[in-house]
């Protein structure tokens, strides 16, 4: 049964119909905010009431692509545009794949736009790849699950 669980290293990212390879995707989480309210005369506790759900930014990391890509061009035009033009948003999909390359779970991030682009530090004493990091803000995300893995995510 353990062999049927999906692994975290087999995934792909789709942006504007093109697949992009990344070594790391982080920030896929959602949490309910709370507001603490005190009640007059009750000093033993505070009521903890739910508020809106929040999510961190989506962070994508990969080896530096020197040829340029649609994703990097989008980052440049958005971040360097200094709000002179309206920000162009796109939906971004992250798919977790099974051993045969079929999608077992997919997260769709709606109305995403780049807010940060960075590369790793350049160090002459180390023999490491240069990593580019792209951070995206988005409105919300949905989760789609494969029926073959529905029992794992229930």
Domain ranges of the chain: 7-149
pLDDT of residue 92: 94
* Global pTM value: 0.81
Q: What is the pLDDT of residue 91?
A: 94
Domain 7-149: CATH superfamily is Hcp1-like (2.30.110.20)
Max mean pLDDT among 8-12, 20-24, 113-117 falls in 113-117
- Binned at pLDDT 50, 70 and 90, residue 98 comes out as confident
- The answer on pLDDT for 133 being more than 90 is yes
pLDDT digit string, tens, across residues 21-74: 888 999 999 999 999 998 888 788 899 999 999 999 999 999 888 777 888 889
Is 60 exceeded by the pLDDT of residue 153? no
DSSP states of the chain as a string?
A: -GGGS--TT-EEEEETTEEE--SEEE----EEEEEEEEETTEEEEEEEEEEEEE-PPEEEEEE--SS--HHHHHHHHHHTTTTSSPPPPEEEEEEEE-TTS-EEEEEEEEEEEEEEEEEPPP-TT-----EEEEEEE-SEEEEEE-GGGTTT--
**pLDDT at residue 131, as a whole number:** 92
């Amino acid at each position: 049964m353990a062999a049927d669980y999906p692994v975290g290293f087999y995934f792909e990212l789709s942006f504007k119909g093109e697949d992009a390879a990344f070594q790391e995707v982080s920030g896929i989480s959602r949490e309910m905010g709370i507001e603490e309210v005190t009640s007059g005369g009750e000093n033993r506790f505070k009521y903890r009431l739910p508020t809106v759900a929040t999510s961190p930014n989506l962070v994508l990391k990969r080896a530096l692509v020197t040829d340029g890509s649609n994703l990097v061009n989008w980052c440049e035009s958005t971040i360097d545009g200094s709000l002179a033009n309206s920000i162009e948003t796109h939906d971004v999909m992250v798919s977790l794949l099974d051993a045969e390359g079929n999608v077992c779970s997919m997260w769709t991030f709606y109305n995403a736009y780049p807010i940060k682009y960075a590369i790793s530090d350049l160090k002459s004493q180390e023999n490491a790849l240069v990593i580019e990091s792209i951070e995206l803000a988005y409105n919300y995300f949905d989760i789609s699950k494969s029926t073959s893995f529905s029992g794992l995510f229930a």
